Amino acid sequence: MTQSSALTLALDEYVGARDEAAARARADLGVSELESAALCCICDEPGIRPSHLRARLGVTPAGVTTLVDRLIGRGLLRRELDADDRRVNHIYLEVDLRAEPWNALRRFPSEIEAAVRAEPRETAEAAAALLRRITERVRTRA
């Protein structure tokens, strides 16, 4: 058995910290992983159509309907009919993911981004290039 490299251990640490922060935020807010992903998708694309949300989340049409209905029932989303085609509806957030307590869903990535910005640009660019090369090497072998 070989020892893991320092980089592999650091990446594992990062992923673990990210996953722990996300799980803690979801638990504090009482949302599931899928609900959290849906809220973040809708935040990124206000007015998203259910079919587009379904594709982004990789769920069935019935699954997205159930998910959206559940989040509407909890007061987290609203559905609006399209002004031009009443068969189409759009989904919007009823909570602000930039404000407390909902910003917890995106706090870890925001803090990572701030920490990266605090590093010298050359260091961040070199690290990004290294990760891209490693990822591409692994992709081509898989």
| Residues with Cβ within 8 Å of residue 28, at least 6 apart in sequence | 101, 104
What is the dihedral sign for C-alpha 65, 95, 55, 109? Answer: negative
pTM, entire model: 0.82
Rounded CA-CA distance 65/82 in Å is 17
CA distance 2 to 35: 39
2-14: string of b/e by CB count within 10 Å (b at 16+)? eeeeeeeeeeeee
pLDDT in tens, 62-73: 999 999 999 999
CATH topology classification for 31-95: Arc Repressor Mutant, subunit A (1.10.10)
pLDDT digit string (tens) for 41-86?
999 999 999 999 999 999 999 999 999 999 999 999 999 998 888 8
Q: Cis peptide leading into 50, omega within 30 of 0?
A: no
Domain boundaries, the chain: 1-24+107-142, 31-95
80 forms bridges with which residues in the sheet? 90
